[in-house]
Amino acid sequence: MSRTTAGATPATTPASAPALLPPGASDRLGERLHHAVAGFVDEPRASVEEADRVLEEVAAVLTDAVAHRRQALRTSWQEAGQAGGAPSTDTEQLRLALRDYRELADRLMRL
């Protein structure tokens, strides 16, 4: 069962959706995790400790990225109401903001 908003289609993650992690961060963190896993036989404790640090960094980077994205979304719809534009323009900007909120929330819930 898909969730929809009145007049909206189910959200999908378009190929053009902005990445949550900064460029290169995913590769760098993936390499660190791979290195930790590969070193498990020789140094199990050090490998698990490194995996813990990688996960902590992933969580911090994602938290920061989501906070910045949310602030950008909030600014877009709050400014729409203050711009003094026609009501139809405000409604369209709000519709786009709602779409972007839904897409981001759906992406996060699929993680």
Tens-place pLDDT, residues 52-101: 999 999 999 999 999 999 999 999 888 766 656 556 568 888 999 999 99
Task: Pick the range with the lowest mean pLDDT from 3-12, 15-24, 31-40.
Answer: 3-12
- Report the percentage of the chain scoring pLDDT > 70: 75
Residue 91 lies in a domain: yes
What's the confidence (pLDDT) of residue 59? 94
Domain membership flag for residue 57: yes
For 94, the domain range is 25-109
Domain count across the chain:
1
For residue 6, being part of any structural domain is answered with: no
What's the CA gap between 5 and 14, in Å, rounded?
18
Report pTM: 0.70
- Whether the Cβ atoms of residue 104 and residue 69 lie closer than 8 Å to each other: yes
| pLDDT for position 52 | 98
Nearest to 103 by CA among 76, 73, 64: 73
Nearest to 50 by CA among 63, 37, 59: 37
